[in-house]
């Protein structure tokens, strides 16, 4: 039986606009959690299983997800797999009666940030959610301080610090050399960068790299980033010299 301890007014914190998504098939427990977290100042959305949780993510962007593991239609583990490629990932707290080490390790490896075993005390749960909110805020502050490390071209966004590339919000996997080539071209945007310069900057002065190796990597970049790789808008070819990214 799930235990939900009564809320104490001394625990109030100001969390207006911080959104929580509760995915829990026990309706009484879900309602109790929803009511208590709303009293704490959170905005709360609830779903009864993993499929409903995925549907909720189409219309809300929670900072925190409280996730049960044992649910019909789609369990918590499958839900974690489905949201693995979300561009903006919420913090995830698993709330489950399954308390084996294997379950905890599996959940954490699939992307969960914390694991609370049922039955639980509400005071502890609230404190753990607060900790996740603080952690997410710290990450957000770090991201804000590194905005100079982010640049965009057409519908492509590149983050230098994390070496991530997004196309229309979806992550694109680039090989290390492809990423380095893209960055070097952007650093000289508006100028033609010769194949020789790219070889030296990306592979090093001592590397024996042929010009067609550069062309092959550029071709792969275009396939991944351009809407039409045969008519590139981002990486332009300058015949017999090299490549250019316009301002």
Same domain as 161, residue 200:
yes
Same domain as 83, residue 137:
yes
- Looking at residue 43, what is its pLDDT? 92
- Looking at residue 84, what is its pLDDT? 80
Whether 3 maps to a domain, the answer reads no
CATH, residue 80: 3.40.50.2300
Same domain as 192, residue 177:
yes
Crossing angle of helices 211-225 and 176-187, rounded to 10°: 90
Same domain as 61, residue 141:
yes
Same domain as 65, residue 25:
yes
pLDDT tens for the 247 residues of the chain, in order = 333 433 343 334 445 468 999 999 999 999 999 999 999 999 999 999 999 998 888 778 888 999 999 999 999 999 999 888 665 678 999 999 988 999 999 999 898 999 999 999 999 999 999 999 988 777 666 555 544 578 888 888 888 877 889 998 888 998 888 988 999 998 888 899 999 999 888 877 545 567 788 899 999 999 999 989 899 999 999 998 999 998 6
Last residue of a domain, one of 145, 172, 193: 145
- Looking at residue 199, what is its pLDDT? 87
Whether 88 maps to a domain, the answer reads yes
Whether 2 maps to a domain, the answer reads no
Tell if the pTM clears 0.75, that is, is over it: no
- Looking at residue 32, what is its pLDDT? 95
Same domain as 73, residue 140:
yes
Whether 186 maps to a domain, the answer reads yes
Whether 205 maps to a domain, the answer reads yes
Same domain as 132, residue 45:
yes
The phi, psi pair for 202, rounded to 5°, reads -95, -40
> What Cα–Cα distance (Å) separates residue 171 from each residue in 67, 94, 112?
25, 25, 20
Whether 120 maps to a domain, the answer reads yes
Domain membership of residue 120 as a residue range: 9-145
- Looking at residue 99, what is its pLDDT? 85
Same domain as 161, residue 241:
yes
Q: How many domains does the chain have?
A: 2
Whether 4 maps to a domain, the answer reads no
């Amino acid at each position: 039986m799930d235990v939900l301890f009564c809320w104490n007014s001394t625990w109030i914190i100001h969390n207006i606009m911080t959104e929580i998504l509760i995915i829990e098939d026990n309706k009484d427990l879900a309602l109790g959690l929803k009511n208590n977290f709303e009293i704490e100042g959170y905005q709360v959305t609830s779903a009864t299983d993993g499929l409903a949780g995925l549907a909720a993510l189409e219309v809300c962007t929670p900072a925190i997800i409280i996730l049960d593991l044992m649910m019909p239609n789609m369990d918590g583990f499958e839900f974690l797999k489905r949201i693995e490629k979300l561009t903006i990932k919420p913090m995830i707290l698993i709330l489950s009666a399954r308390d084996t080490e294997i379950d905890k390790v599996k959940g954490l490896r699939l992307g969960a940030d914390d694991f609370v075993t049922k039955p639980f005390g509400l005071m502890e749960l609230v404190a753990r959610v607060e900790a996740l909110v603080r952690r997410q805020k710290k990450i957000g502050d770090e991201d804000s301080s590194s905005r100079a490390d982010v640049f965009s071209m057409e519908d492509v966004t590149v983050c230098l610090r994390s070496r991530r590339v997004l196309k229309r919000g979806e992550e694109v996997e680039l090989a290390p050399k492809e990423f380095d080539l893209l960055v070097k071209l952007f650093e000289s945007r508006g100028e033609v960068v010769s194949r020789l310069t790219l070889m030296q900057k990306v592979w090093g002065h001592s590397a024996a790299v042929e010009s067609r190796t550069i062309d092959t990597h550029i071709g792969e970049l275009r396939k991944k980033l351009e809407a039409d790789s045969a008519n590139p808008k981002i990486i332009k070819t300058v015949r017999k010299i090299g490549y250019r990214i316009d301002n």
